[in-house]
Protein backbone atom coordinates (compact mmCIF):
# COMPACT_ATOMS: atom_id res chain seq x y z
CA UNK A 1 0.00 0.00 0.00
CA UNK A 2 1.52 3.38 -0.97
CA UNK A 3 2.43 5.43 2.08
CA UNK A 4 1.02 8.91 2.39
CA UNK A 5 4.30 10.79 2.85
CA UNK A 6 7.13 8.61 1.55
CA UNK A 7 9.46 11.58 1.06
CA UNK A 8 9.55 12.52 4.77
CA UNK A 9 12.83 10.59 5.10
CA UNK A 10 16.07 12.07 3.82
CA UNK A 11 16.99 11.36 0.21
CA UNK A 12 20.16 9.68 1.46
CA UNK A 13 18.07 7.30 3.57
CA UNK A 14 15.76 6.48 0.69
CA UNK A 15 18.71 5.90 -1.65
CA UNK A 16 20.25 3.53 0.89
CA UNK A 17 16.96 1.66 1.16
CA UNK A 18 16.66 1.30 -2.61
CA UNK A 19 20.23 0.14 -3.13
CA UNK A 20 20.08 -2.34 -0.25
CA UNK A 21 16.76 -3.81 -1.33
CA UNK A 22 17.80 -4.05 -4.98
CA UNK A 23 21.00 -5.85 -4.00
CA UNK A 24 19.10 -8.33 -1.82
CA UNK A 25 16.59 -9.06 -4.55
CA UNK A 26 19.45 -9.52 -7.01
CA UNK A 27 21.02 -12.02 -4.59
CA UNK A 28 17.74 -13.94 -4.38
CA UNK A 29 17.43 -13.99 -8.18
CA UNK A 30 21.01 -15.15 -8.51
CA UNK A 31 20.56 -17.88 -5.92
CA UNK A 32 17.36 -19.07 -7.61
CA UNK A 33 19.15 -19.25 -10.93
CA UNK A 34 21.77 -21.51 -9.31
CA UNK A 35 24.59 -19.22 -10.33
CA UNK A 36 26.26 -19.55 -6.94
CA UNK A 37 25.47 -20.69 -3.41
CA UNK A 38 24.41 -17.97 -1.00
CA UNK A 39 23.66 -18.21 2.69
CA UNK A 40 22.88 -14.60 3.56
CA UNK A 41 21.65 -11.42 1.96
CA UNK A 42 25.04 -10.01 1.15
CA UNK A 43 26.08 -8.36 -2.11
CA UNK A 44 29.29 -6.64 -3.14
CA UNK A 45 29.12 -2.86 -3.16
CA UNK A 46 29.76 -2.92 -6.89
CA UNK A 47 26.95 -5.34 -7.68
CA UNK A 48 24.85 -4.30 -10.66
CA UNK A 49 21.62 -5.96 -11.71
CA UNK A 50 22.72 -6.34 -15.32
CA UNK A 51 25.96 -8.04 -14.23
CA UNK A 52 24.36 -10.68 -12.05
CA UNK A 53 21.80 -11.83 -14.57
CA UNK A 54 21.69 -12.59 -18.27
CA UNK A 55 21.70 -9.83 -20.87
CA UNK A 56 17.95 -10.29 -21.38
CA UNK A 57 16.60 -11.33 -17.98
CA UNK A 58 12.98 -12.38 -17.90
CA UNK A 59 12.38 -11.32 -14.30
CA UNK A 60 13.33 -7.69 -13.73
CA UNK A 61 13.93 -5.60 -10.61
CA UNK A 62 11.98 -2.33 -10.57
CA UNK A 63 11.02 0.44 -8.20
CA UNK A 64 7.72 2.15 -7.35
CA UNK A 65 8.30 5.88 -7.84
CA UNK A 66 6.29 7.05 -4.82
CA UNK A 67 9.33 7.01 -2.53
CA UNK A 68 10.98 9.59 -4.77
CA UNK A 69 8.16 12.00 -5.45
CA UNK A 70 10.38 14.96 -4.60
CA UNK A 71 12.71 14.16 -7.51
CA UNK A 72 12.10 15.30 -11.06
CA UNK A 73 11.56 12.58 -13.65
CA UNK A 74 15.09 13.15 -14.98
CA UNK A 75 16.52 12.78 -11.47
CA UNK A 76 14.49 9.62 -10.88
CA UNK A 77 15.76 8.10 -14.11
CA UNK A 78 19.36 8.89 -13.17
CA UNK A 79 18.85 7.24 -9.77
CA UNK A 80 17.40 4.13 -11.40
CA UNK A 81 20.32 3.95 -13.82
CA UNK A 82 22.86 4.44 -11.02
CA UNK A 83 21.68 1.30 -9.24
CA UNK A 84 21.22 -0.79 -12.38
CA UNK A 85 17.47 -1.10 -11.82
CA UNK A 86 15.58 -2.15 -14.91
CA UNK A 87 12.00 -0.98 -14.46
CA UNK A 88 9.81 1.63 -12.81
CA UNK A 89 6.21 1.59 -11.61
CA UNK A 90 4.62 5.03 -11.99
CA UNK A 91 1.94 6.48 -9.74
CA UNK A 92 -0.83 7.99 -11.86
CA UNK A 93 -3.06 9.38 -9.09
CA UNK A 94 -5.28 8.59 -6.07
CA UNK A 95 -3.26 7.33 -3.07
CA UNK A 96 0.14 7.12 -4.82
CA UNK A 97 -0.14 10.62 -6.27
CA UNK A 98 1.18 11.41 -9.73
CA UNK A 99 4.51 13.17 -9.17
CA UNK A 100 5.95 11.80 -12.42
CA UNK A 101 2.78 11.41 -14.48
CA UNK A 102 0.62 14.23 -15.84
CA UNK A 103 -2.29 11.89 -16.42
CA UNK A 104 -4.65 14.29 -18.19
CA UNK A 105 -1.88 15.94 -20.18
CA UNK A 106 -0.46 12.64 -21.40
CA UNK A 107 -3.88 11.38 -22.43
CA UNK A 108 -4.64 14.56 -24.33
CA UNK A 109 -1.39 14.92 -26.28
CA UNK A 110 0.08 12.09 -28.35
CA UNK A 111 3.34 13.97 -28.89
CA UNK A 112 3.76 14.55 -25.16
CA UNK A 113 2.99 10.91 -24.52
CA UNK A 114 5.59 9.77 -27.07
CA UNK A 115 8.26 12.06 -25.59
CA UNK A 116 7.41 10.84 -22.10
CA UNK A 117 7.86 7.18 -22.95
CA UNK A 118 11.04 7.87 -24.93
CA UNK A 119 12.65 9.14 -21.72
CA UNK A 120 12.40 5.64 -20.33
CA UNK A 121 13.11 3.77 -23.55
CA UNK A 122 16.36 5.58 -24.34
CA UNK A 123 17.62 4.64 -20.88
CA UNK A 124 16.56 0.98 -21.21
CA UNK A 125 14.01 1.31 -18.40
CA UNK A 126 10.71 -0.54 -18.61
CA UNK A 127 7.55 1.06 -17.25
CA UNK A 128 6.08 -1.98 -15.48
CA UNK A 129 2.69 -0.46 -14.59
CA UNK A 130 0.77 2.70 -13.83
CA UNK A 131 -0.61 2.58 -10.28
CA UNK A 132 -3.58 4.41 -8.80
CA UNK A 133 -4.66 2.68 -5.57
CA UNK A 134 -7.98 4.09 -4.39
CA UNK A 135 -11.55 3.17 -3.49
CA UNK A 136 -13.83 3.41 -6.52
CA UNK A 137 -16.69 1.78 -4.58
CA UNK A 138 -16.53 4.17 -1.62
CA UNK A 139 -19.94 4.93 -0.05
CA UNK A 140 -19.18 8.64 -0.56
CA UNK A 141 -20.34 8.70 -4.18
CA UNK A 142 -18.39 11.83 -5.06
CA UNK A 143 -15.14 10.26 -3.84
CA UNK A 144 -15.96 6.99 -5.60
CA UNK A 145 -16.61 8.84 -8.86
CA UNK A 146 -13.31 10.76 -8.63
CA UNK A 147 -11.27 7.65 -7.93
CA UNK A 148 -13.05 5.58 -10.56
CA UNK A 149 -12.23 8.29 -13.11
CA UNK A 150 -8.54 7.92 -12.27
CA UNK A 151 -8.81 4.13 -12.64
CA UNK A 152 -10.31 4.48 -16.12
CA UNK A 153 -7.89 7.19 -17.22
CA UNK A 154 -5.01 5.04 -15.99
CA UNK A 155 -6.28 2.10 -18.04
CA UNK A 156 -6.46 4.44 -21.04
CA UNK A 157 -2.88 5.62 -20.48
CA UNK A 158 -1.60 2.07 -20.03
CA UNK A 159 -3.23 1.15 -23.34
CA UNK A 160 -2.00 4.21 -25.26
CA UNK A 161 1.60 3.79 -24.06
CA UNK A 162 1.79 0.03 -24.52
CA UNK A 163 2.46 -0.51 -20.83
CA UNK A 164 -0.75 -2.57 -20.60
CA UNK A 165 -0.59 -2.99 -16.80
CA UNK A 166 -2.42 -1.09 -14.09
CA UNK A 167 -2.12 -1.65 -10.31
CA UNK A 168 -4.82 -0.71 -7.80
CA UNK A 169 -7.01 -1.78 -4.88
CA UNK A 170 -10.43 -3.41 -5.14
CA UNK A 171 -11.88 -0.78 -2.82
CA UNK A 172 -14.34 -1.45 -0.03
CA UNK A 173 -18.04 -0.46 0.02
CA UNK A 174 -20.01 0.65 3.05
CA UNK A 175 -23.08 -1.10 4.42
CA UNK A 176 -25.64 0.62 2.22
CA UNK A 177 -26.60 3.17 4.87
CA UNK A 178 -23.43 4.90 6.09
CA UNK A 179 -20.73 7.14 4.67
CA UNK A 180 -17.65 5.09 5.56
CA UNK A 181 -16.24 1.84 4.14
CA UNK A 182 -17.10 -1.24 6.17
CA UNK A 183 -14.49 -4.02 6.05
CA UNK A 184 -16.25 -7.16 7.26
CA UNK A 185 -13.83 -9.66 8.82
CA UNK A 186 -16.23 -11.94 10.71
CA UNK A 187 -19.46 -13.83 10.05
CA UNK A 188 -20.31 -13.96 13.75
CA UNK A 189 -23.74 -12.37 13.31
CA UNK A 190 -26.36 -12.40 10.56
CA UNK A 191 -25.88 -8.65 10.29
CA UNK A 192 -22.30 -9.08 9.07
CA UNK A 193 -23.33 -11.87 6.73
CA UNK A 194 -25.96 -9.64 5.13
CA UNK A 195 -23.56 -6.70 4.76
CA UNK A 196 -20.95 -8.89 3.08
CA UNK A 197 -23.47 -10.36 0.63
CA UNK A 198 -24.74 -6.90 -0.24
CA UNK A 199 -21.22 -5.54 -0.76
CA UNK A 200 -20.29 -8.29 -3.19
CA UNK A 201 -23.57 -8.81 -5.04
CA UNK A 202 -24.78 -5.22 -5.26
CA UNK A 203 -21.54 -3.22 -5.46
CA UNK A 204 -18.24 -5.03 -6.01
CA UNK A 205 -19.18 -7.55 -8.70
CA UNK A 206 -21.23 -5.10 -10.83
CA UNK A 207 -18.49 -2.45 -10.61
CA UNK A 208 -15.65 -4.82 -11.44
CA UNK A 209 -17.53 -6.53 -14.25
CA UNK A 210 -17.84 -3.15 -15.88
CA UNK A 211 -14.21 -2.20 -15.25
CA UNK A 212 -12.97 -5.59 -16.45
CA UNK A 213 -14.79 -5.03 -19.74
CA UNK A 214 -13.30 -1.52 -19.97
CA UNK A 215 -9.82 -3.00 -19.50
CA UNK A 216 -10.47 -5.96 -21.82
CA UNK A 217 -11.41 -3.67 -24.68
CA UNK A 218 -8.07 -1.87 -24.22
CA UNK A 219 -5.94 -5.00 -23.62
CA UNK A 220 -4.88 -3.88 -20.14
CA UNK A 221 -4.23 -6.24 -17.23
CA UNK A 222 -5.48 -4.92 -13.88
CA UNK A 223 -3.39 -6.08 -10.93
CA UNK A 224 -5.38 -5.78 -7.70
CA UNK A 225 -3.25 -5.55 -4.58
CA UNK A 226 -4.46 -7.69 -1.68
CA UNK A 227 -4.34 -5.75 1.59
CA UNK A 228 -6.18 -5.16 4.82
CA UNK A 229 -9.11 -2.74 4.81
CA UNK A 230 -10.22 -3.57 1.27
CA UNK A 231 -12.60 -6.23 0.04
CA UNK A 232 -9.95 -8.17 -1.89
CA UNK A 233 -7.50 -8.93 0.91
CA UNK A 234 -6.39 -12.52 0.24
CA UNK A 235 -6.15 -15.06 -2.56
CA UNK A 236 -9.68 -16.41 -2.06
CA UNK A 237 -11.29 -12.97 -2.42
CA UNK A 238 -9.10 -12.14 -5.42
CA UNK A 239 -10.05 -15.37 -7.18
CA UNK A 240 -13.71 -14.85 -6.29
CA UNK A 241 -13.68 -11.41 -7.91
CA UNK A 242 -11.79 -12.61 -10.98
CA UNK A 243 -14.23 -15.48 -11.55
CA UNK A 244 -17.17 -13.13 -11.19
CA UNK A 245 -15.81 -10.14 -13.13
CA UNK A 246 -13.48 -11.45 -15.81
CA UNK A 247 -9.95 -12.44 -16.73
CA UNK A 248 -8.45 -8.99 -17.11
CA UNK A 249 -8.62 -8.86 -13.32
CA UNK A 250 -5.61 -10.40 -11.60
CA UNK A 251 -3.13 -9.82 -8.81
CA UNK A 252 -0.47 -7.33 -7.94
CA UNK A 253 1.24 -9.57 -5.42
CA UNK A 254 2.56 -7.54 -2.50
CA UNK A 255 3.69 -10.20 -0.06
CA UNK A 256 3.86 -7.70 2.80
CA UNK A 257 0.07 -7.48 2.58
CA UNK A 258 -0.48 -11.23 2.78
CA UNK A 259 2.39 -12.10 5.13
CA UNK A 260 0.18 -10.32 7.68
CA UNK A 261 -2.29 -13.20 7.31
CA UNK A 262 0.28 -15.87 8.13
CA UNK A 263 0.33 -17.31 4.62
CA UNK A 264 2.91 -19.47 2.86
CA UNK A 265 4.28 -17.25 0.05
CA UNK A 266 5.16 -20.20 -2.17
CA UNK A 267 1.62 -21.58 -1.89
CA UNK A 268 0.20 -18.14 -2.71
CA UNK A 269 2.31 -17.85 -5.86
CA UNK A 270 1.45 -21.41 -6.90
CA UNK A 271 -2.28 -20.74 -6.57
CA UNK A 272 -2.08 -17.45 -8.49
CA UNK A 273 -0.06 -19.25 -11.16
CA UNK A 274 -2.67 -21.98 -11.42
CA UNK A 275 -5.31 -19.30 -11.90
CA UNK A 276 -3.15 -17.53 -14.50
CA UNK A 277 -3.62 -14.22 -12.76
CA UNK A 278 -0.25 -13.05 -11.41
CA UNK A 279 0.09 -9.78 -13.32
CA UNK A 280 2.51 -7.65 -11.29
CA UNK A 281 4.49 -7.84 -8.06
CA UNK A 282 5.85 -5.57 -5.32
CA UNK A 283 9.14 -6.22 -3.53
CA UNK A 284 8.38 -5.56 0.14
CA UNK A 285 8.56 -7.45 3.41
CA UNK A 286 7.32 -7.32 6.99
CA UNK A 287 9.12 -7.92 10.26
CA UNK A 288 7.23 -10.06 12.76
CA UNK A 289 7.72 -9.50 16.49
CA UNK A 290 7.51 -13.05 17.85
CA UNK A 291 6.69 -11.92 21.39
CA UNK A 292 3.83 -9.67 20.33
CA UNK A 293 2.49 -12.22 17.87
CA UNK A 294 2.46 -14.83 20.63
CA UNK A 295 0.33 -12.54 22.80
CA UNK A 296 -1.88 -10.69 20.32
CA UNK A 297 -1.80 -12.56 17.03
CA UNK A 298 -1.39 -10.93 13.62
CA UNK A 299 -4.49 -8.72 13.49
CA UNK A 300 -2.97 -5.51 14.81
CA UNK A 301 -4.44 -2.02 15.21
CA UNK A 302 -1.51 -0.69 17.25
CA UNK A 303 -0.34 2.61 15.68
CA UNK A 304 2.26 1.99 12.99
CA UNK A 305 4.78 4.25 14.71
CA UNK A 306 4.62 2.20 17.95
CA UNK A 307 6.93 -0.43 16.50
CA UNK A 308 7.96 -2.14 19.79
CA UNK A 309 4.32 -2.95 20.58
CA UNK A 310 3.24 -4.10 17.15
CA UNK A 311 2.98 -7.71 16.01
CA UNK A 312 4.39 -6.77 12.62
CA UNK A 313 5.90 -3.76 10.88
CA UNK A 314 6.83 -3.08 7.28
CA UNK A 315 10.53 -3.69 6.75
CA UNK A 316 13.27 -3.97 4.21
CA UNK A 317 13.60 -7.25 2.38
CA UNK A 318 16.06 -9.09 4.59
CA UNK A 319 14.77 -7.79 7.91
CA UNK A 320 11.72 -10.00 7.82
CA UNK A 321 12.24 -13.13 5.71
CA UNK A 322 15.71 -14.41 4.86
CA UNK A 323 17.38 -15.37 1.61
CA UNK A 324 16.06 -18.92 1.80
CA UNK A 325 12.48 -17.66 1.77
CA UNK A 326 13.05 -15.09 -0.98
CA UNK A 327 14.98 -17.63 -3.07
CA UNK A 328 11.99 -20.00 -2.77
CA UNK A 329 9.70 -17.13 -3.77
CA UNK A 330 11.75 -16.43 -6.90
CA UNK A 331 11.92 -20.15 -7.74
CA UNK A 332 8.14 -20.41 -7.59
CA UNK A 333 7.70 -17.23 -9.65
CA UNK A 334 9.81 -18.85 -12.34
CA UNK A 335 7.95 -22.16 -11.99
CA UNK A 336 4.57 -20.51 -12.66
CA UNK A 337 5.97 -18.54 -15.60
CA UNK A 338 5.96 -15.05 -14.09
CA UNK A 339 8.38 -13.04 -16.21
CA UNK A 340 7.51 -9.42 -15.45
CA UNK A 341 8.86 -7.23 -12.61
CA UNK A 342 9.43 -7.22 -8.86
CA UNK A 343 8.82 -3.56 -8.06
CA UNK A 344 10.47 -2.30 -4.86
CA UNK A 345 8.12 -0.29 -2.66
CA UNK A 346 9.29 1.71 0.36
CA UNK A 347 7.24 1.45 3.52
CA UNK A 348 10.06 0.31 5.77
CA UNK A 349 10.39 1.76 9.25
CA UNK A 350 14.07 0.86 9.28
CA UNK A 351 15.55 3.54 7.07
CA UNK A 352 14.84 6.70 9.02
CA UNK A 353 11.36 8.23 9.16
CA UNK A 354 10.32 7.20 5.68
CA UNK A 355 8.06 4.42 6.85
CA UNK A 356 5.18 5.02 9.22
CA UNK A 357 6.48 7.48 11.77
CA UNK A 358 9.41 9.70 12.66
CA UNK A 359 10.06 7.94 15.96
CA UNK A 360 11.03 4.75 14.15
CA UNK A 361 14.45 6.11 13.26
CA UNK A 362 15.35 6.67 16.91
CA UNK A 363 15.31 4.80 20.17
CA UNK A 364 11.92 3.17 19.63
CA UNK A 365 12.94 1.78 16.26
CA UNK A 366 16.21 0.52 17.76
CA UNK A 367 14.24 -1.17 20.52
CA UNK A 368 12.05 -2.98 18.02
CA UNK A 369 15.04 -4.15 16.03
CA UNK A 370 16.81 -5.43 19.12
CA UNK A 371 13.71 -7.31 20.29
CA UNK A 372 12.77 -8.93 17.05
CA UNK A 373 14.32 -12.40 16.95
CA UNK A 374 12.53 -11.62 14.43
CA UNK A 375 13.50 -13.11 11.60
CA UNK A 376 10.05 -14.34 10.70
CA UNK A 377 9.75 -18.12 10.57
CA UNK A 378 10.37 -19.59 7.15
CA UNK A 379 7.05 -20.65 5.69
CA UNK A 380 8.49 -22.72 2.86
CA UNK A 381 7.00 -26.21 3.20
CA UNK A 382 10.25 -27.91 2.28
CA UNK A 383 12.22 -26.14 5.01
CA UNK A 384 10.06 -25.72 8.07
CA UNK A 385 10.79 -22.98 10.62
CA UNK A 386 13.98 -20.99 10.18
CA UNK A 387 16.70 -21.38 12.78
CA UNK A 388 19.67 -19.28 13.82
CA UNK A 389 20.21 -15.60 14.58
CA UNK A 390 18.16 -12.82 13.08
CA UNK A 391 19.34 -11.69 9.67
CA UNK A 392 20.22 -8.22 10.86
CA UNK A 393 22.70 -9.81 13.31
CA UNK A 394 24.32 -11.80 10.52
CA UNK A 395 24.76 -8.62 8.51
CA UNK A 396 26.45 -6.62 11.26
pLDDT tens-digit map of 104-146:
999 999 999 999 999 999 999 999 999 999 999 999 999 999 9
> Is it the case that residue 37 has pLDDT exceeding 60?
no
- Is the residue at 390 inside a domain? no
Taking the C-alpha atoms of residue 254 and residue 282, their distance in angstroms, rounded to an integer, is 5
Q: How far is CA 209 from the centre of its chain?
A: 24
pLDDT value at residue 10 = 87
CATH number of the CATH domain containing 224: 3.20.20.150
3-state secondary structure 241-297: HHHHHCCCEEEEEEHHHHHCCCCCHHHHHHHHHHHCCEEEEEECEEEECHHHHHHHC
Which are the contacts of 145, defined by CB distance < 8 A and separation ≥ 6?
A: none
CB 375 within 8 A of CB 395: no
- Is the residue at 272 inside a domain? yes
Q: What pTM does this model have?
A: 0.84
Taking the C-alpha atoms of residue 281 and residue 228, their distance in angstroms, rounded to an integer, is 17
- Is the residue at 224 inside a domain? yes
Cα–Cα distances (Å) from 238 to 28, 179, 231, 247, 252, in that order, read: 27, 25, 9, 11, 10
Which domain covers residue 67, as residue numbers?
6-285+314-353
pLDDT value at residue 81 = 96
pLDDT value at residue 317 = 85
pLDDT value at residue 351 = 59
- Is the residue at 374 inside a domain? no
CB 271 within 8 A of CB 235: yes
- The tens digit of pLDDT for each residue in 233-257 reads 999 999 999 999 999 999 999 999 9
- Is the residue at 254 inside a domain? yes
> Is it the case that residue 63 has pLDDT exceeding 90?
yes
- The tens digit of pLDDT for each residue in 214-240 reads 999 999 999 999 999 999 999 999 999
- Is the residue at 366 inside a domain? no
Summary mean pLDDT of the chain: 84
Kindly report the number of other CB atoms within 10 A of residue 51's CB atom.
10
> Is it the case that residue 281 has pLDDT exceeding 50?
yes
- The tens digit of pLDDT for each residue in 346-363 reads 887 765 433 333 322 333
pLDDT-derived band of residue 9, with 50, 70 and 90 as boundaries? Answer: confident
State the total domains in the chain.
1
- Is the residue at 373 inside a domain? no
- Is the residue at 389 inside a domain? no
Amino acid sequence: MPIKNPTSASLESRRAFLKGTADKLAAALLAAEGARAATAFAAPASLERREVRSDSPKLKIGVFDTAFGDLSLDQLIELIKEYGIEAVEIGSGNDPGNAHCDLDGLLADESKRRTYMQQFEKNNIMVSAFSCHGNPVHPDTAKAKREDAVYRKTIDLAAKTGVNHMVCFSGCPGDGTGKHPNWVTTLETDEFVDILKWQWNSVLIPYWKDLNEYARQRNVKVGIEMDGGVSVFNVATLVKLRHAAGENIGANLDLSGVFQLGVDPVAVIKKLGQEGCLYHMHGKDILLDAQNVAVNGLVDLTPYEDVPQRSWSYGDIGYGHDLGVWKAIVEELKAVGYDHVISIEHESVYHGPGGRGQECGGARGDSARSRAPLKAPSMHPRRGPSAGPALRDRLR
